[in-house]
């Protein structure tokens, strides 16, 4: 709000980004249980109708927040970079989740929350398996697909334990994640 109490004039695109950023802050503060269009409107300092106007419903806004977080996660884990070790990638990933543990809950519970979230998460899991093997999903053998999904499941379990146990020894978790990310190459 401006100095006189009126809403700042923003372009529709800028207002949508502002509301999405408020949604990410609400999720970071209260997680999924406290997430609502009303809590986002309060956080953004906008009328209660604006989050619905820009995003539709609660799950549409949660979907946008999840996509935003997954983009950050994928940039940390999958972006190419010379000299970027798997350990540094996982350190960046855990840093993201330390600020947004709700993201892992969405990742694990996507199918319970909304079908659109499940599609987003399944696509991200495939991209991660493709990254492990360096080939497109369709080029992987069934054995590689199963192995890759199993490794992703193990990584998910390790990260869930890390979050549930208070996000303690990150170095130990990184070692486990690096070990899990090395695929078994079938002949």
CATH code at 1?
A: 1.10.10.60
Residue 78: per-residue pLDDT: 85
The Cβ of residue 80 has, within 10 Å, a number of other Cβ atoms equal to 6
Q: Are residues 154 and 79 in the same domain?
A: yes
Do 135 and 86 share a structural domain? yes
Residues 91 and 79 in one domain: yes
Other C-beta atoms within 10 Å of 148: how many?
23
Which pLDDT value is given to residue 81?
A: 66
Indicate the pTM of the whole model.
Answer: 0.83
Structural contact between residues 60 and 90, judged by C-beta atoms closer than 8 angstroms? no
Are 13 and 66 members of one domain?
Answer: no
Q: Contact at 8 Å (CB) between 51 and 37?
A: yes
For position 175, what pLDDT does the model report?
92
Which residue, among 57, 66, 170, 45, has the nearest Cα to 118 in the 3D structure? Answer: 66
Claim to verify: residue 102 and residue 63 sit in the same structural domain? yes
Residues 66 and 153 in one domain: yes
Whole-angstrom distance, CA of residue 43 vs CA of residue 170: 31
Total number of domains in the chain: 2
Among residues 29, 56, 83, which one ends one of the domains?
Answer: 56
Examine the domain organization and report whether 51 and 62 are in the same domain.
Answer: no
User: Cα-Cα-Cα-Cα dihedral of 154, 164, 20, 80, to 10°?
Assistant: -40
Beta strands in the chain (DSSP E): none
Per run of 10 residues, the mean pLDDT along the chain (length 187 residues) is 56 93 96 94 95 94 94 86 81 92 91 90 92 92 93 91 90 90 63
Cβ pair 141, 186 in contact under 8 A: yes
Percentages (nearest 5) of helix, strand, coil residues in the chain = 75, 0, 25
Residue 43, in any domain of the structure: yes
- Claim to verify: residue 66 and residue 30 sit in the same structural domain: no
Residue 90: closest CA among 26, 154, 5:
154
- Domain identity same for 120 and 176: yes
Q: Are residues 52 and 63 in the same domain?
A: no
Q: 94 and 174 share a domain?
A: yes
Spatial distance between the Cα atoms of 22 and 107, rounded to a whole number of angstroms: 20
Domain that holds residue 111: 58-181
Residue 67 within any structural domain of the chain = yes
Number of neighbours of residue 83 by Cβ within 10 angstroms: 5
Q: Is 143 within the bounds of a domain? A: yes
Looking at the fold, whether 2 and 67 belong to one and the same domain comes out as no
């Amino acid at each position: 709000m401006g100095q006189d109490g009126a809403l700042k004039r923003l372009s529709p695109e800028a207002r949508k980004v502002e509301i999405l950023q408020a949604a990410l802050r609400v999720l970071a503060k209260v997680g999924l249980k406290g997430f609502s269009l009303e809590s986002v409107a309060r956080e953004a300092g906008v009328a209660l109708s604006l989050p619905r106007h820009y995003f539709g419903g609660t799950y549409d806004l949660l979907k946008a927040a999840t996509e935003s977080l997954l983009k950050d996660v994928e940039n940390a884990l999958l972006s190419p970079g010379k000299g970027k070790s798997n350990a540094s990638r996982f350190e960046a990933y855990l840093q993201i989740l330390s600020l947004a543990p709700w993201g892992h809950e969405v990742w694990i519970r996507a199918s319970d929350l909304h079908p659109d979230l499940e599609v987003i998460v399944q696509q991200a899991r495939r991209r991660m398996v493709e990254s492990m093997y360096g080939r497109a999903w369709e080029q992987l053998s069934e054995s590689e697909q199963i192995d890759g999904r199993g490794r992703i499941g193990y990584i998910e379990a390790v990260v869930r334990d890390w979050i549930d146990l208070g996000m303690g020894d990150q170095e130990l978790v990184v070692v486990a994640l690096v070990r899990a990310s090395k695929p078994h190459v079938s002949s």
